[in-house]
């Protein structure tokens, strides 16, 4: 089944169950001080859950563009290294605002997966909330358990704690237990070695979560206590690309038709083959993923810039350029050339991509060229540093200056030094980074909630994430 049909089957299934199909909200949020980008399907409906606004229909279905690159949900570092977390992805959802509840949500999810999509029920696991013995003293979600029992064998219903099976919007507001659906798409041989239930929620690339059904039945009051909600709501989110992986019988989101046209185009442009060498594969996945995030952001009106959301987008694009430069040997702009394939692939579902194609190409090309110039200048400076280095180790201070003042990525410094048979004083570099961090920490307040103010100044966020990225990258570089 083609991805396009998978998406429309989802929407029409819920339309038949009396849901209104609504288009995805823009991914970039302009007037929400608590969130830069939509990072889950429920974000655009926040006001309905809080009771501040009324939907026209209390049943809605959609495919929402989500971006998880900052705040509580930041998957950026996984992207390219694993095969099922993206920066931008689509979240398929069905919503009940004070209408149907657990029974229907569970029965319909099951009907859709096993009857409409025809997924073998022997590859599915579901989880339910086990209750908590903390101050909330919550009971186990026996309701959900009993409904699931009508559809699936009991040894496939797993119990989970608050971390995985209780969903809260923030310090206050609607919240409740959730049930997640996981698939096990390993080969029979692999399955014989370890039972699937032991791998659920363990970051196994073929035992992955596909759908989260949230049952909002409590309200967390300002004093921290819980009360029952008068109106109960359903909020579900299914990862579209992961669903495509399952239905197309492949082992990675990147092997679905959502990504293969992009990957083929990258292969043609770079003359590299996907599926042969690990670091080339990582780079190709990074680029295929990031071009989507950047293109969709520009289509939504968020151009790369030096502050706030624009800076996050610039960083994503630069990450893609860096991987192309380092592992695919691409020294000139090429990512903009993927926009054509992308808009052909996604333009029907998301017409903004077609409408803005020319602008998206121009902006990406310009950004790529300007960052490549920075890289060129950095290389000249690095060569000078190498010449001046008397022993076999380049000091952390010098590397930091290159990184901090000239924007030259540290992973590239490490790679180039390695090629020249030199070492980098990583400890010294980390020490400089820490110093810079403490200088910039003052103004930023980091919160782990979705709906509390994350940072006073969005630029501060960048500094933190950039520093973190620099550290992590070094580790990653060693791995690749
Ligand atoms: P995971 O545990 O795999 O990180 P999650 O629990 O963070 O997923 P939810 O917040 O429950 O994800 O989102 C609902 C669904 O969206 C998930 O079941 C998954 O299918 C999908 N999803 C979540 N994060 C990503 C991502 N970064 N890329 C692609 N799909 C994702
Ligand atoms: Mg996650
Ligand atoms: Mg999860
Ligand atoms: Mg989840």
Higher-scoring residue by pLDDT: 415, 153: 153
Q: 380 CA to middle of ligand 1, Å?
A: 42
pTM of the entire predicted model: 0.88
Q: Is 415 in the same domain as 451?
A: yes
Mean pLDDT over 254-264 rounds to 98
User: Domains in the chain: how many in total?
Assistant: 3
CATH number of the domain within which 90 lies: 3.30.930.10
- What's the pLDDT score for residue 15? 98
Mean pLDDT over 164-186 rounds to 92
Residue 456 has pLDDT above 50, yes or no: no
Q: 309 CA to middle of ligand 2, Å?
A: 20
Q: 432 CA to middle of ligand 4, Å?
A: 37
Percent of the chain surpassing pLDDT 90: 75
Q: Is 187 in the same domain as 229?
A: yes
Judge whether 377 lies within some domain: no
- What's the pLDDT score for residue 442? 53
Choose which residue among 182, 183, 239, 244 to substitute to test ligand 1 binding: the one with the highest number of ligand atoms within 8 A of its C-beta. 239
Q: Is 209 in the same domain as 336?
A: no
- The residue nearest atom 1 of ligand 1, judged by CA position, is 209
Three-class DSSP category at 130: coil
- What's the pLDDT score for residue 448? 37
Tokens of 42: 């429920």
Q: Is 195 in the same domain as 51?
A: yes
What does the angle CA 50 – CA 56 – CA 57 come to, to the nearest 5 degrees?
90
Q: Is 331 in the same domain as 273?
A: yes
Residue 451 has pLDDT above 80, yes or no: no
Judge whether 33 lies within some domain: no
Choose which residue among 38, 41, 85 to substitute to test ligand 1 binding: the one with the highest number of ligand atoms within 8 A of its C-beta. 85
Mean predicted lDDT score pLDDT of the chain: 90
- What's the pLDDT score for residue 414? 86
Mean pLDDT over 59-81 rounds to 92
CB-based contact 457:474 (threshold 8 Å)? no
Which residue among 221, 247, 273 closes a domain?
A: 247
Give the residue numbers spanning the domain of 453.
389-480
What pLDDT digit, counting tens, does each position of 269-298 carry?
A: 999 999 999 999 999 999 999 999 999 999
Residue 472 has pLDDT above 70, yes or no: no
Residue 349 has pLDDT above 70, yes or no: yes
Judge whether 203 lies within some domain: yes
Which helix (H) or strand (E) segment is 369 a member of?
helix 357-388
Judge whether 130 lies within some domain: yes
Q: Is 44 in the pocket of ligand 1 (CB under 6 A)?
A: no
Judge whether 207 lies within some domain: yes
Q: Is 264 in the same domain as 238?
A: no
Q: Is 210 in the pocket of ligand 1 (CB under 6 A)?
A: yes
Task: Of 39-43, 190-194, 347-351, 354-358, give the lowest mean pLDDT range.
Answer: 39-43
Tokens of 269: 């442009």
Three-class DSSP category at 290: helix
CB-based contact 109:181 (threshold 8 Å)? yes
Q: Is 19 in the pocket of ligand 1 (CB under 6 A)?
A: no
Q: 239 CA to middle of ligand 1, Å?
A: 6
Tokens of 87: 């920066």
Most confident of 48-52, 105-109, 323-327, 418-422: 105-109
Q: How confident is the model at residue 457 (pLDDT cuts 50, 70, 90)?
A: very low
At residue 224, what are phi and psi to the nearest 5 degrees?
95, -10
Measured from the CA of 75, which atom of ligand 1 is nearest?
Answer: 27
- What's the pLDDT score for residue 30? 80
Residue 478 has pLDDT above 90, yes or no: no
Q: 39 CA to middle of ligand 1, Å?
A: 10
Mean pLDDT over 92-107 rounds to 98
Residue 47 has pLDDT above 90, yes or no: no
Q: Is 271 in the same domain as 175?
A: no
- The residue nearest atom 7 of ligand 1, judged by CA position, is 73
Q: Is 40 in the pocket of ligand 1 (CB under 6 A)?
A: yes
Q: Is 327 in the same domain as 407?
A: no
Which helix (H) or strand (E) segment is 182 a member of?
strand 173-184
Radius of gyration of the chain (CA): 23
Q: Is 64 in the pocket of ligand 1 (CB under 6 A)?
A: no
Mean pLDDT over 370-393 rounds to 91
Task: Of 19-28, 379-388, 461-470, give the lowest mean pLDDT range.
Answer: 461-470
Residue 360 has pLDDT above 50, yes or no: yes
Q: 209 CA to middle of ligand 3, Å?
A: 6
- The residue nearest atom 22 of ligand 1, judged by CA position, is 239
Judge whether 384 lies within some domain: no
Q: Is 272 in the same domain as 342?
A: yes
Q: Is 83 in the same domain as 175?
A: yes
Q: Is 263 in the same domain as 335?
A: yes
Which residue among 224, 247, 270 closes a domain?
A: 247
Q: Is 187 in the same domain as 209?
A: yes
- What's the pLDDT score for residue 169? 76
Judge whether 32 lies within some domain: no
Which residue among 225, 247, 269 closes a domain?
A: 247
DSSP character at residue 115: I
Q: 240 CA to middle of ligand 4, Å?
A: 13
Judge whether 254 lies within some domain: no
Q: 212 CA to middle of ligand 4, Å?
A: 5
């Amino acid at each position: 089944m083609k991805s396009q049909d998978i998406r429309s089957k989802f929407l029409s299934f819920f339309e038949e169950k009396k849901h209104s199909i609504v288009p995805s909200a823009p991914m970039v949020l302009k007037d929400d001080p608590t969130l830069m980008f939509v990072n889950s399907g429920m974000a655009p409906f926040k006001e309905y859950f809080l009771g501040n606004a009324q939907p026209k229909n209390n049943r809605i279905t959609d495919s929402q563009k989500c971006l998880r690159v900052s705040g509580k949900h930041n998957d950026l570092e996984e992207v390219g290294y694993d095969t099922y977390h993206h920066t931008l992805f689509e979240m398929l959802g069905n919503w009940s605002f004070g209408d149907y509840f657990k029974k229907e949500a569970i029965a319909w999810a099951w009907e859709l997966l096993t009857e409409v999509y025809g997924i073998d029920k022997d590859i599915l696991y579901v989880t339910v909330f086990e209750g908590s013995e903390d101050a909330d003293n919550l009971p186990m979600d026996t309701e959900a358990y009993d409904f699931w029992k009508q559809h699936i064998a009991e040894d496939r219903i797993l119990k989970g704690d608050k971390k995985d099976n209780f969903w809260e919007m923030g310090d206050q507001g609607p919240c409740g237990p959730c049930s997640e659906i996981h698939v096990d798409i390993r080969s029979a041989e692999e399955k014989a070695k370890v039972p699937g239930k032991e791998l659920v929620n363990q970051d196994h690339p073929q035992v992955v979560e596909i759908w989260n059904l949230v049952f909002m039945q409590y309200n967390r009051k300002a004093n921290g206590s819980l009360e029952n909600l008068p109106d109960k709501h359903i909020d579900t989110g299914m990862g579209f690309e992961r669903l495509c992986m399952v239905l197309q019988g492949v082992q990675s989101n990147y092997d679905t038709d959502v990504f293969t046209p992009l990957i083929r185009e990258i292969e043609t442009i770079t003359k590299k083959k996907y599926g042969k060498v690990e670091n080339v594969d990582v780079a190709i996945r990074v680029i295929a993923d990031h071009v989507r995030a950047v293109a969709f952001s520009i289509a939504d009106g968020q151009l790369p810039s030096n502050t706030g959301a624009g800076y996050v987008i610039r960083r994503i694009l630069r990450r893609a350029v860096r991987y192309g430069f380092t592992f695919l040997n691409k020294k000139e702009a090429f990512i903009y050339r993927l926009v054509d394939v992308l808009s052909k692939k996604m333009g029907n579902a998301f017409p903004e991509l077609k409408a803005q194609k020319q602008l998206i190409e121009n902006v990406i090309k310009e950004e790529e060229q300007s960052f490549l110039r920075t890289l060129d200048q950095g290389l000249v400076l690095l060569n000078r540093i190498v010449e001046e280095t008397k022993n076999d180790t380049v000091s952390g201070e010098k590397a930091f200056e290159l990184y901090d003042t000239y924007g030259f990525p540290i992973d590239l410094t490490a790679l180039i030094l390695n090629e020249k048979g030199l070492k980098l004083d990583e400890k010294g570099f980390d020490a400089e980074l820490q110093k810079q961090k403490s200088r910039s920490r003052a103004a930023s307040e980091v919160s782990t909630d979705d709906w509390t103010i994350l940072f006073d100044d969005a630029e501060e966020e960048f500094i933190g994430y950039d520093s973190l990225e620099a550290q992590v990258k070094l580790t990653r570089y060693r791995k690749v």
